C-alpha cells in the first residue's frame, strides 16, 4: 500500500526491490511466487563522474556470463537500476543491482559467478576475470547486500518498465502477518485496478530474508513499476480504490494499514540495462 501523496514528491521507482527489488523484483516482470528470491546489492561510486564508464564496463565485463546463467537456469534475471531519488553527495548509494533466482544458494555463493564466467569465456584466464573485477571495484563500493523472498506480484507481461518506486516498510510489533494480509487482500486488488487504468506496469511485495535480526530497519519492500514518470505522479489511487472497495472509506483503510507498519523510506530507480529470458537468445 502506498499513500497517495509522497513527501519527497514521489519520483519514480523507489530504489529497488527493491526489491526488490525490491527489488525488488524484479522484473522482466514475470509474476513471482514465494520460491523466487532476489539478491539486492547497493552500490556507491567513488567518483560520480565515472557513472557512464561504470555502466559500460559492468555490462561489457559480465554480459556473456549473465546470459550463460540465464540459459542454464541459475538465475532468472539480472537488473541494473540507477537511483533517481534521493541523489546527491549524501546519498547512500547510486545504483542497485538485482539478481533473481529460484535457488537462494546461487545468490549466496559467489563462486557460482566465477564458474559461469569461466564457462562463458573459455579462452580467458582467471587472472583476466580478476583484473576486470578489480577495475569495477576501483570505481565503486558495495554498500550492502540483501536477500528477499517474493510474497506477491503481478504485471501486464508487456515491455520492461522504465522506473520503479520501492518503499521500505517495518511491520509494527506483532503485526508481521497482518501487514502481509493487508497488502495482499486489500491493496493488491487496488494496484491491479491501477494497472487497468494504465498507471502501473506491475507491483510486488517482498520480505527481507537476510540479513535478519530484531534490529533491522525494515523487513518488507513494495515495488510499483511504471513506464513513465508522469504515470507515477498520476497515481489514480482514489479512483481505483472506489472501484474495488466502493463501500469503504479510503482514509480509514489508509489509517488501518498505517497502524500495521512504518514507512522507513522510499527510493525511485530508473532501469539502465538488464539480462533475462526476454533478451537472451
pLDDT of residue 235: 84
| The pLDDT of residue 8 is above 60 | no
245 contacts: CB under 8 Å, gap ≥ 6:
186, 190, 253
Mean pLDDT value across residues 104-123: 85
Grade residue 168 by pLDDT with cuts at 50, 70 and 90: very high
Q: How far apart are CA 149 and CA 220, in angstroms?
A: 9
pLDDT of residue 142: 94
Long-range CB contacts (within 8 A, 24+) of 211-217 = 211/146, 216/170, 217/168, 217/170, 217/264
Grade residue 186 by pLDDT with cuts at 50, 70 and 90: very high
CB 40 within 8 A of CB 96: yes
Q: Is the peptide bond before 211 cis (omega within 30 degrees of 0)?
A: yes
pLDDT of residue 187: 97
Task: Tell which wins on pLDDT, 42 or 30.
Answer: 42
Of the listed ranges 13-22, 93-102, 183-192, the least confidently predicted one is: 13-22
Cell of 40: 539486492
Query: Whole-number mean pLDDT of the chain?
Result: 85
Mean pLDDT value across residues 183-204: 95
**What is the per-residue pLDDT across 240-267, written as a single tens digit (0 to 9) for each?**
999 999 999 999 999 999 999 999 999 9
CB 182 within 8 A of CB 1: yes
DSSP-derived secondary structure for 40-86: EEEEEESSGGGHHHHHHHHHHHHHHHHHHHHHTTS-SEEEEEEEEES
pLDDT of residue 270: 97
pLDDT of residue 116: 87
pTM of the model: 0.84
Question: CA–CA distance from 221 to each of 173, 204, 209, 268 (Å)?
Answer: 17, 8, 11, 13
Mean pLDDT value across residues 18-42: 55
Cell of 245: 472497495
Cell of 117: 564466467
**Closest C-alpha to 171, from 117, 135, 207:** 207
Cell of 225: 513499476
Question: CA–CA distance from 123 to each of 69, 111, 126, 129, 161 (Å)?
Answer: 18, 19, 10, 11, 36
CATH topology of domain 19-170+202-227+264-279: Alpha-Beta Plaits (3.30.70)
Mean pLDDT value across residues 265-279: 94
CB 38 within 8 A of CB 32: no
| The pLDDT of residue 24 is above 70 | no
Cell of 276: 533475462
pLDDT of residue 118: 85
CB 148 within 8 A of CB 37: yes
Amino acid at each position: 500500500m502506498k499513500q497517495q501523496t509522497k513527501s519527497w514528491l514521489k519520483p519514480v521507482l523507489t530504489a529497488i526491490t527493491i526489491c526488490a527489488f525490491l527489488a525488488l523484483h524484479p522484473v522482466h516482470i514475470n509474476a513471482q511466487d514465494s520460491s523466487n528470491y532476489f539478491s539486492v546489492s547497493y552500490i556507491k561510486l567513488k567518483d560520480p563522474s565515472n557513472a557512464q564508464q561504470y555502466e559500460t564496463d559492468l555490462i561489457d565485463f559480465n554480459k556473456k556470463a549473465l546470459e550463460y546463467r540465464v540459459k542454464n537456469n541459475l538465475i532468472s534475471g539480472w537488473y541494473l537500476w540507477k537511483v533517481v531519488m534521493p541523489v546527491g553527495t549524501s546519498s547512500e548509494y547510486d545504483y542497485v543491482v538485482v539478481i533473481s533466482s529460484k535457488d537462494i544458494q546461487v545468490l549466496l555463493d559467489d563462486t557460482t559467478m566465477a564458474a559461469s564466467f569461466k564457462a562463458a569465456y573459455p579462452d580467458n584466464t582467471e587472472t583476466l576475470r580478476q583484473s576486470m573485477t578489480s577495475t569495477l571495484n576501483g570505481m565503486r563500493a558495495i554498500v550492502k547486500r540483501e536477500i528477499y523472498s517474493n510474497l506477491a506480484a503481478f504485471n501486464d507481461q508487456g515491455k520492461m518498465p522504465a522506473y520503479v518506486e520501492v518503499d521500505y516498510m517495518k511491520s509494527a510489533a506483532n503485526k508481521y502477518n497482518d501487514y502481509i494480509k493487508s497488502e495482499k487482500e486489500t491493496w493488491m486488488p487496488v494496484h491491479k485496478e491501477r494497472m487497468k487504468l494504465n498507471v502501473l506496469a506491475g507491483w510486488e511485495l517482498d520480505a527481507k530474508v537476510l540479513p535478519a535480526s530484531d534490529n533491522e530497519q525494515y523487513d518488507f519492500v513494495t515495488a510499483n513499476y511504471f513506464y513513465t514518470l508522469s504515470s507515477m505522479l498520476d497515481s489514480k489511487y482514489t479512483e481505483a480504490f472506489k472501484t474495488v472497495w466502493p463501500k469503504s472509506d479510503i482514509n480509514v483503510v489508509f489509517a488501518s494499514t498505517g497502524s500495521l507498519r512504518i514507512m522507513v523510506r522510499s527510493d525511485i530507480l530508473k532501469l539502465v540495462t538488464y539480462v533475462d529470458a526476454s533478451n537472451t537468445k
